[in-house]
Amino acid sequence: MNTTKKEAWKVFKFGGSSLANTACFVRVSKIILDSYIASEEQPHSIVVSAMGGFTDLLIKISKDVPAKSLKSSSEYKSIIDRISIISNDLLDSAESEKYLQEVSEDFTEIKKILDQSNSNKDKFIEDKGDIIAGYGELWSARLLNIYLNKLLACKKSNFIDSRQVLFVKASDTGDSIDWVKSKESFKNITTSLSSKIYVITGFIASKEDGTPTNLGRNGSDYSAAIFTSFFDAEELIIWTDVDGVLSADPNKVKNARLIANLSYNEAMELAYFGAKVIHPKTFGPLINQSIPIYIRNTFSPENRGTRISSKVDANREIKGITVIESIALINLEGTGMIGVPGTADKLFSSLKDKNISVTLISQASSEHSICIAVPDSASELACDQINTAFSEEIKSGLISNIDITRNLSVLAVVGDNMVGQKGIAGKFFSTLGDSGINVRAIAQGSSERNISAVIDSEDTQLALNVIHNGFFMTKPSLIIGIIGIGVVGSELINQLHANIKNISNKFNINLKIKAIAKSNAMIMDDDSIDLINWKSMINESSVEFDINEFLMHISSDASNKNVLIIDCTSNEDISGRYAEWMESGLHVITPNKKAFSDTLDSYKRIKNLSNKKNGFCFYETTVAAGLPVISTVQDLIDTGDNIHSIEGIFSGTLAYLFNAYDGTKPFSQIVSEAKSNGYTEPDPRDDLTGMDVARKLAIIGREAGRDLEINDFKIESLVPVELSGVDADKFLDLFKQYDEEMKLKFEKAKNNSKVLRYTAKLSKNNEVFIGLSQYPEDHAFSNIHLTDNIIQIKSDRYSKNPMVIQGPGAGPEVTAAGIFSDIVTLLKLIN
């Protein structure tokens, strides 16, 4: 056998999922032959697992199926049916018949094993599961070898039964490879076959006496590593059903990313702490020879995967985050442990006697206590062992307590570049603390390659996500759900679409609109909704609006605490839930006045929650669209000013009506024209009652520190009592009969060189006026633009010359812009 550099071997290992059916065998063969041909017939060794699911079926046969029932068992039928289909698909009839005959002969051997009696063959029966479990590798390796030779049209591939090569021997720590005997057997077999392609069974081996056995779960990876070492190959490629080693379990962390490069040490740490892609034993045979391992995807062979080698990648301190679940923590405590040699040795010896593995160790520097993490399933036995071992110390009071805490997980971050780096541990624990996750025990190896924390099981998913986001996410995300797509909601979405990239870049945060809802439908996306086609999508949506489902969707990422609901409705049921949402950590932005003008207690509850900064609430647009009225009043109060009075025109609709009304047209006609031009609500009475103005005054007054209840306000309604209950479509016709009354008020003001304006005023002593007033023609309120709001504030600082805020107080563009401004305020706080 030539093993010079020119003839350096490649070793491929294919797992069970890669060999699950006919299509998989075809795909695997293509990968092998493409590599073989591209490398100009560089020698390849192929190590295979059993076809997907076969090992579990064989173990079940060994445990539950009597010999006489073997061929009638469902397990036997499942194996034979699938293996027959694959064989007949891949091979010609003669080859398939021959292959299936070998499988049948193997089942005859399995039946003989099942036939052995406990009384005569106790040890053999004990090992029968190990023997029977290994037949799956024989079947997949034989079949792949036959199929490769068929494709090559000549016998260039040879089958090797690893039971004739790999031998294990007993040791204090369990069975281990007999390297001398195995290497000798390998040399003899490969010399006699002298092939350029070998298909080798993974997983299985033989004991010193020749009895078949296996290398345990994930033993195929270990087999592949051993053969890679024996061939002194240039690389080992483990082909599986994932793209490589990920930074976290993708089933628990959506944003898990592929790790391009790992060192052996990093990979071993990740494997030990639960990363399931590769078994820790796999590295042993390869490290001394510095042979790299690649983890690649059989189903996406174009992807490079993860390279594991002796090189340390300096690009990132943390490479991966992983977790061991179903852990129990046992704590020993007592003054008798201080300075007493042998305590730890006695503890671990007692556990070793029952083969109990210790996952994590943490000891106080005073030696007053020591805690260990063990599998939850072994916790009772571990406690019994420890109590027995330390019975004398417990009786004498030297050990005061042995506590056990169940339902825990061990969370670990791993990376070579953590060594000597300041702040990694601080960031790790502060991130957990900020998320309300309690750490029960910690451990860090002296190599500083990993930091481990024991946490409650119920916090596992959250912990994985917040730690992953903290170390891997280049940008945090603000998740947004929008309720209400009327003129304001639609305009807001348009403004977001036009500016979302600039805002994201400026604040270094991703804005993701994951849900949009209207009264009878909603659309949702796991990432972010397409803001170009959102309108057609929601119009075509068959998903009914369900507020609870809406909330569940935007809050589904446990790791993202930045979730915003934008309520663009005037719905009282929705606004009534703001406090509930804020208590759960959601942010709220809205132009909906209902929650802030409702009872004083309701208003104060929302304010208090926002001040606690659990969930923020912004509502600038509830008073004057995009005008900065609320924020200005808040700034005055926060900086110690004392507000005397607030007076102004708070309704764009009423501003328009009395700007347009000059007595030449009936007032009802002005209202009708305003409705046609979109300046009023669909039912103009919603504007004419003055209730909208009252709500705004209540909100701004409360912001100024006044305890106001809207029910105490006296409001001059422009809707005659007789017309308050008539149908909306009849209102304007009936309203005409009251035109003369309004004309008389107009003429009276005009005769006094004044104009009519509908205003609201809050005085220093909490007196409230809401209704029609006369103002001189040169007054600021008399000279506004058509739909302007104007608010005048008198305070200690602005007494002689009041502060005036004026501008458009209505309209979808300015209202949406005001909501957008609130979003920017929230982004600043998040940053």
Strands 369-375 and 10-14: unpaired
- Using CA atoms, how far apart are residues 28 and 14, in angstroms rounded to an integer? 8
- Using CA atoms, how far apart are residues 282 and 271, in angstroms rounded to an integer? 10
As given in the structure block, the two tokens for residue 404 are: 């056990």
Strands 439-444 and 450-456: antiparallel
CA angle 485, 487, 492 (to 5 degrees): 70
Helices H / strands E in the chain, number of each? 31, 29
- Using CA atoms, how far apart are residues 211 and 194, in angstroms rounded to an integer? 27
- Using CA atoms, how far apart are residues 400 and 394, in angstroms rounded to an integer? 6
| Among the listed residues 771, 805, 816, 808, the one whose alpha carbon sits nearest the alpha carbon of residue 787 | 808
Beta-carbon contacts of 707 under 8 Å, excluding residues fewer than 6 positions away, are 600
3 state SS for 357-394: CCCEEEECCCCCEEEEEEEHHHHHHHHHHHHHHCHHHH
784 residue type, one letter: I
- Is 696 a residue of the active site? yes
- Using CA atoms, how far apart are residues 27 and 17, in angstroms rounded to an integer? 12
Cα–Cα distance list, 438 to 328, 424, 470 (Å): 15, 18, 17
Sheet holding 235-240, edge to edge: 157-160, 197-201, 44-48, 10-14, 235-240, 293-297, 306-309, 261-263
As given in the structure block, the two tokens for residue 680 are: 């009023």
- Using CA atoms, how far apart are residues 641 and 238, in angstroms rounded to an integer? 71
- Using CA atoms, how far apart are residues 452 and 440, in angstroms rounded to an integer? 11
If you ran DSSP here, which 8-state letter would residue 280 be given?
Answer: G
Q: Which of 281, 514, 696, 794 is catalytic?
A: 696
Measure CA 354 to chain center: 39
Is residue 286 within 8 A of residue 228, CB to CB? The reply is: yes
Q: Which residues of 481-512 are buried (b: 16+ CB within 10 A; e: fewer)?
A: bbbbbeebbbbbbbbbeeebeebbeebebbbb
Q: What are phi and psi for residue 121, nearest 5 degrees? A: -135, 55
Q: Which residues of 554-575 are buried (b: 16+ CB within 10 A; e: fewer)?
A: bbebbbbbbbbbbbbbbbeebb
* Bridge partners (DSSP) listed for residue 806: 790
- Using CA atoms, how far apart are residues 790 and 760, in angstroms rounded to an integer? 11
* Burial status of residue 289 (CB atoms within 10 A of its CB: 0-12, 13-18, 19 or more): exposed
| Among the listed residues 590, 660, 655, 654, the one whose alpha carbon sits nearest the alpha carbon of residue 623 | 590
| Among the listed residues 448, 385, 375, 449, the one whose alpha carbon sits nearest the alpha carbon of residue 409 | 375
- Using CA atoms, how far apart are residues 50 and 31, in angstroms rounded to an integer? 18
- Using CA atoms, how far apart are residues 62 and 433, in angstroms rounded to an integer? 49
Q: Which long-range contacts (CB under 8 A, 24 or more apart) does 530-535 make?
A: 531/493, 531/496, 531/497, 531/500, 532/497, 534/493, 535/485, 535/490
Task: List, in sequence order, every beta strand (DSSP E) within 101-171.
Answer: 157-160, 167-169
- Using CA atoms, how far apart are residues 418 and 553, in angstroms rounded to an integer? 36
C-alpha atoms less than 13 angstroms from C-alpha of 8 in its C-beta half-sphere: 10
Question: Which residues are marked as active site?
Answer: 696
